[in-house]
Amino acid sequence: MKGSRKQALVQRSASGLVTGAIAASWLILQSMLVATPVIAQEQRDSLTYGELLEKIETGEVTKIELDPAQKKALVQLDDQEPDEPPQEVMLLEQNPELTERALANDVDLEVRSSAESTAAVGLLANLLWIVPLMFLMLLFLRRSANTSNQALNFGKSRARFQMEAKTGITFNDVAGIDEAKEELQEVVTFLKQPERFTAIGARIPKGVLLVGSPGTGKTLLAKAIAGEAGVPFFSISGSEFVEMFVGVGASRVRDLFKKAKENAPCLIFIDEIDAVGRQRGAGIGGGNDEREQTLNQLLTEMDGFEGNTGVIIIAATNRPDVLDSALLRPGRFDRQVMVDAPDLKGRLEILKVHARNKKLASTVSLEAIARRTPGFTGADLANLLNEAAILTARRRKDAITILEIDDAVDRVVAGMEGTPLVDSKNKRLIAYHEVGHALLATLLKDHDPLQKVTLIPRGQAQGLTWFTPNEEQGLISRSQIKARITATLGGRAAEDIVFGKGEVTTGAGHDLQQVTNLARQMVTKFGMSDLGPLSLESQNNEVFLGRDWMTRSEYSEEIAARIDTQVREIVSHCYQQALRLLQENRPIMDRLVDLLSEQETIEGEQFRQIVAKDTQLSEQELAVSR
């Protein structure tokens, strides 16, 4: 009723606008038609009424055309040229004398009224105005109808629906996350062969939550499920539920589940569910009422009084810590599948998938690439091979070689290559800084092995020292953390030894942040200090997560002072160790700096061989515990 009343009001206003425009156009047209002859008359009138009568008597007039409507006569004189326009003479109200004299002197007299032509011109002018206005009115009414329809459909779900999803992706295209894939393959089996499970009393899971870092393959898994299951598939983002209008999000949730139940069994995929599933009552002022209403409706639809038989919900998020606890309980999301970054075997399988359509040289080893990329996600590896292919095309090569792979790894990790440094004091200072890191990492047995050290600028860094962490080692020991702190301080220690305290630079700023963070974690989280095995700091719950209004200190000021003292002692001890090792191996450091300044890059294998030869240690001894 409200919608129809609104539409009627819109139509009345539109018709009123059209009527007013027609009236205005008619007044303008009339003024034009009346004013134009007057102007012409003033320009061309050369005879008066009396003069016309005299010329009729003298026989100078050959033809007269009378126009009673305009009260004028068009006079053709005897001495006028054939192409010259006739003279205009304004007439009186009654002109019997003119008629009598014209007939008496055999003057050709005609009466032609312009009223008919004026009416025709006026009708044509009105049509010229009315037709465009009618067209605009119809366009306005159609747009008003569309607006009304959009208002009525505002609460409808915006989920993309496919009766049989054709994503082009199957489980064969998903690699490196075998555990997550196995969990979801079971869901597909539930949908295809439910009798296998219901025969022994098992019920189909209502929801599966995919949790993992960005780029690990959560959306890819959802596409694979859609491609394998062969059932109706709905896909939507969490942000598409919430609008600025109250109640719209809840209405869309209801509409989505209504459609899903009509097509059951089916799948619903909600990407980035943390946009709508955050903890209720969170933030300053109690939270967002509209988002919380949407969440309440989602909780009711997933496992409420009526239930959602035959509808399986798959959701993805990289922020499980902010989700409401009612959303995570069994009965709503029965399974939480962790999608972690792949290990060495997983990276190799992912590289094989993405290398199917790439031309790789025979010398390229995918296993070697997998070993060089610990911590890379599936998206990172796909981007790595794509960057290598782009570099190959730019260099006009027929196949991707190991050189393009190495450059692509550097670009993905550190950024674009910058302008090489020129030979100067600054270049030598950076060389000592990077060699300080690399030499200490090679001398310390508990440190990760060196991958390479380079002076080629990338991103914001003027030089880089890269290591290959041992990923098989899930836990990190106290000696390994201290070795990392010592090697990280190697750059500042090398500057101090070679150039003196007055010449140390800001290049170690990021290194000092890492060192301080590691030392504080040793004291407050890992219990690796004289304070004992205590966890003194926990992850603070921010205000927007809806926890405490103010963050509380979990220890006294005295303990805080002792924590600061312990952090300083750990960092100072490691810095003194770094100074001692570099001073003892100063000749090796100088030789490596000269070589690095000349070559600009030293690979880890070559670096270790030089250090082993000069320190008379074998590479096996340098690689102890790696």
CB-based contact 293:245 (threshold 8 Å):
no
Annotated catalytic residue: which of 434, 503, 537, 584? Answer: 434
**Which helix H or strand E contains 67, and what residues bound it?**
strand 61-67
Residue of 335, 270, 322 whose CA lies nearest to 301 = 270
User: Which residue, among 568, 555, 438, has the nearest Cα to 516 in the 3D structure?
Assistant: 568
The helix (H) or strand (E) run that includes residue 211 is strand 207-211
DSSP 317-352: ES-GGGB-HHHHSTTTS-EEEE-PPP-HHHHHHHHH
The H-or-E segment that residue 178 falls in is: helix 178-192
- Cβ neighbours of residue 422 under 8 Å, at least 6 residues apart? none
446-449 CB contacts, 8 Å cutoff, 24+ apart: 446/477, 446/479, 446/480, 446/482, 446/483, 446/625, 447/480, 447/483, 447/484, 447/486, 447/487, 448/484, 448/626, 449/604, 449/608, 449/623, 449/626
What is the C-alpha separation between 132 and 91, in angstroms, rounded? 40
Cβ pair 444, 429 in contact under 8 A: no
Active site residue 434: yes
70, 89 contact by CB (below 8 A): no
Asked whether the beta carbons of 207 and 333 are under 8 A apart, the reply is yes
CA distance 49 to 101: 13
Count other C-beta atoms under 10 Å from residue 407's C-beta: 17
Q: CA 262 → CA 47, 188, 295, 442, distances in Å?
A: 92, 20, 22, 65
Active site residue ranges: 434
